[in-house]
Structure 1
């Protein structure tokens, strides 16, 4: 579903197929075509393995689907046949490393497989190195995961947001027997990677370990921007039919701000620290910002016994509050955190690019009200110009401000 949804955004099919040809795998076909799921047009991406084509086509009920486009990859390079029926993580890493993929897709693909292997190792009580992927299952998983990695790299996006991922209920019959839904590997991936699950009233498995592994590796944030433009939409179809449309929608979005002032609710976390080093406090500062804090600052204070100390203040939202508290407890000597839920009024802004004598400079357009705004050049851009032109910060900053005002 992920590959189909990304391709439906309009990404390059031929480029993807060329990369898949370079994989050192047994023969397989790729079939890309349109189907309807609950009257919604969606793209389908099938990996058809040798000897299994008729089965897959039958399961998809292609005779009842309106196929608008088809693209097949045939005569994939044949390699030596394995004398065993399984591949381990080392084998899969080698297949990826020996392909023609560039470094970033290789990194993404191997990272996804490592997440799945870690979850499987916990489920079966064995080491990651001893986890084996069944030969047939491994081929389509490799193709799905590598294809996802190639397309994500081509997309070149900054952040990936996921809504809670829907799962069914009941049991499912697999090679190891009858297992509860979600299956252990999927449950472990969600547990180990802080993914959000939404249990539905659909009977059966809705999330595979491959899909969960892809989501776990790619997820950057859980919460969507409040306002955004939808630039492109991709819709990928799943194989099963449920009472609701079995599709994955991918939105390529651009975050925007309105010209009105908004009020939101945030949390203020505070703790007083009197026995941590400057290096320690600097490390905590970066960790908090890297894990969802909206702002972090220290205030010099005096505590008991006239000790010079610092009050650590963290501004965050409800989604990241617990994680940030864990970072504070783990990395400082604090034994207690004060918590306040407060309202704040925020001036909205949008990112813009301005032309200056030094070239293009990124800036924020900050709206005071409907008709008044100010433009603030980005510090990092000014810093780069200062270094490149051997000028002082004030010279560059006020020159750019003067150009903006004129």
Structure 2
């Protein structure tokens, strides 16, 4: 049976991650720019933004750029430098991270908080001020007033998107992660979190663009490296915040993302970037061996001593043989009842463990004991460990990787004179062996009154006859693979 090689999309976040870096990197990787522009056009927001896609160099490395240019800022009478992208991650020469680019001395940070804790730039409580542009020292708002968009308003924009439903759902999931993080940061319900009308446009475009590009790349698995984050503080309109900012911390904590701190002054992971990683990752680990098919490089707006880029790699991993690499969990128990051990085995198998078994042992003071063994995938390890701690008396679990050679397996049904029986075909080295499923044989025995061995052997013969013998296993049975064996 031929196995399909798996395409894996890997995000190398050694300089953090933001929405614009993600889109730029995916475009450079090969995502269709025409499809992206068509999808954004379908949102009906042409009066609010344009996008600009270009090239730049970071520490001599060529990289793609993706900028959201807010039309209101271009038309509102403010002075802009044409060489500076009008984007939520733009900076001025002093290195501060500003929400919008303006002339003057007032720095408006995209994650700015006032002294009373109100969030200025993206998120507002309904009772809070809605700031779209810079304020002077008297606190007056200079520019146009706007209402805020809550999460439902954002969902309605996403629903306008022309395309597959899974693209919309991916975008909703990313925005939901951001909204939940802001809700927790400000101590208000998710429904009351308001994204400022101008500030939210950047995030909406970045997130929808990411969803469209991910769909176009079409990877089977998506893996993110640890998120490299800077240190120090970010200067805001009314004060100073530590890096990572609260929303990023909430996302990292809630979704168990790996964070790697660097001795680099400044913010490298934005809430949008963290949300993309939290909502998109399908695995935490790359296969041991894979081929790199294509690479993409997206540039960030800041300049550091290192190249401020997000690199993506489209990889191909050869389909694993049925055995592959698995994890064995072990726990010694000399004070756990037989009932608890039996129940634990049922729970582990029900949760998808490949196998569970007990080995008798003697522990300290010659106490009779059992060693619990669980065979599982690395991706299910934490769930299995949680079940073991929950249902047994152990206080520690050992683990190690094992390599397993296993026969390929297919499952089907055959007709016997006792009735329909389920059977498993196991193939290796050009030979096929047939093993009837126990529960199926048991039911036929109870219904017919026949002996177990009689029904079992009859089922094997029926499977061999229907399949044309033991060499092919292909003829008349409609076989199917069953994952997780």
Would you say same fold, with TM above 0.5?
yes
Q: Secondary structure at the match of 2:156?
A: helix
Q: Of residues 45, 50, 68 in structure 1, which corresponds to 2:66?
A: 45
Aligned-pair CA distance for 1:84: 3.5
Residue 400 in 1 paired to residue 472 in 2? yes
Can you give the 5+ residue segments of structure 2 that lack an aligned partner in the other structure?
A: 1-20, 75-79, 92-143, 361-369, 409-425, 435-460, 476-485
Separation in 2, partners of 1:44, 1:376: 55
Residue 269 in 1 paired to residue 330 in 2? yes
Q: Is the 8 A contact 1:257 1:349 kept in 2?
A: no
Q: Secondary structure at the match of 2:351?
A: helix
**1:32 paired residue number:** 53
CA separation of 1:116/1:10 partners in 2, compared to 1, >3 Å: closer, same or farther?
Answer: same
Aligned-pair CA distance for 1:269: 2.8
Separation in 2, partners of 1:7, 1:45: 9
Q: Of residues 260, 265, 270 in structure 2, which corresponds to 1:198?
A: 260
Q: Is the 8 A contact 2:243 2:267 kept in 1?
A: yes
Q: Is the 8 A contact 1:86 1:132 kept in 2?
A: yes
Separation in 2, partners of 1:234, 1:273: 56
Residue 11 in 1 paired to residue 31 in 2? yes
Aligned-pair CA distance for 1:8: 1.1
Which of the pair is proportionally richer in helix?
A: 1
**1:107 paired residue number:** 169
CA separation of 1:280/1:245 partners in 2, compared to 1, >3 Å: closer, same or farther?
Answer: same
Can you give the 5+ residue segments of structure 1 that lack an aligned partner in the other structure?
A: 62-81, 290-294, 302-309, 351-363, 367-373, 380-390
Separation in 1, partners of 2:298, 2:407: 34
Residue 245 in 1 paired to residue 271 in 2? no
CA separation of 1:226/1:126 partners in 2, compared to 1, >3 Å: closer, same or farther?
Answer: same
Residue 285 in 1 paired to residue 349 in 2? yes
CA RMSD of aligned residues (A): 4.1
Aligned-pair CA distance for 1:266: 5.0
Q: Is the 8 A contact 1:167 1:198 kept in 2?
A: yes
Q: Is the 8 A contact 1:161 1:221 kept in 2?
A: yes
- Residue by residue over 1:120-171, the C-alpha shift from the partner in whole angstroms, topping out at 9 and shown as x without a partner, is 1111111111111122221010011001111112222221111111100111
Q: Is the 8 A contact 2:302 2:308 kept in 1?
A: yes
Q: Secondary structure at the match of 1:241?
A: coil
Residue 340 in 1 paired to residue 398 in 2? yes
Separation in 2, partners of 1:346, 1:277: 26
Q: Secondary structure at the match of 1:11?
A: coil
Separation in 2, partners of 1:282, 1:176: 57
Separation in 2, partners of 1:392, 1:13: 56
Aligned-pair CA distance for 1:22: 1.2
Aligned-pair CA distance for 1:323: 4.8
Q: Is the 8 A contact 1:186 1:207 kept in 2?
A: yes
CA separation of 1:56/1:226 partners in 2, compared to 1, >3 Å: closer, same or farther?
Answer: farther
Matched length = 337
CA separation of 1:401/1:30 partners in 2, compared to 1, >3 Å: closer, same or farther?
Answer: same
Q: Is the 8 A contact 1:96 1:110 kept in 2?
A: yes
CA separation of 1:266/1:17 partners in 2, compared to 1, >3 Å: closer, same or farther?
Answer: same
Aligned-pair CA distance for 1:288: 5.2
Q: Is the 8 A contact 1:115 1:213 kept in 2?
A: yes
CA separation of 1:83/1:346 partners in 2, compared to 1, >3 Å: closer, same or farther?
Answer: same
CA separation of 1:393/1:265 partners in 2, compared to 1, >3 Å: closer, same or farther?
Answer: closer
Separation in 2, partners of 1:99, 1:279: 48
- Residue by residue over 1:38-96, the C-alpha shift from the partner in whole angstroms, topping out at 9 and shown as x without a partner, is 111111111111144545742679xxxxxxxxxxxxxxxxxxxx974321111101111
Separation in 1, partners of 2:238, 2:343: 51
Q: Which has the higher contact order (CA 8 A, sep 6+)?
A: 2
CA separation of 1:27/1:317 partners in 2, compared to 1, >3 Å: closer, same or farther?
Answer: same
The farther-off stretch of 18-27 and 102-111 is 18-27
Aligned-pair CA distance for 1:250: 0.8
CA separation of 1:365/1:246 partners in 2, compared to 1, >3 Å: closer, same or farther?
Answer: farther
- Residue by residue over 1:380-403, the C-alpha shift from the partner in whole angstroms, topping out at 9 and shown as x without a partner, is xxxxxxxxxxx9755449453699
Separation in 1, partners of 2:407, 2:312: 26
Separation in 2, partners of 1:265, 1:254: 20
Aligned-pair CA distance for 1:173: 2.7
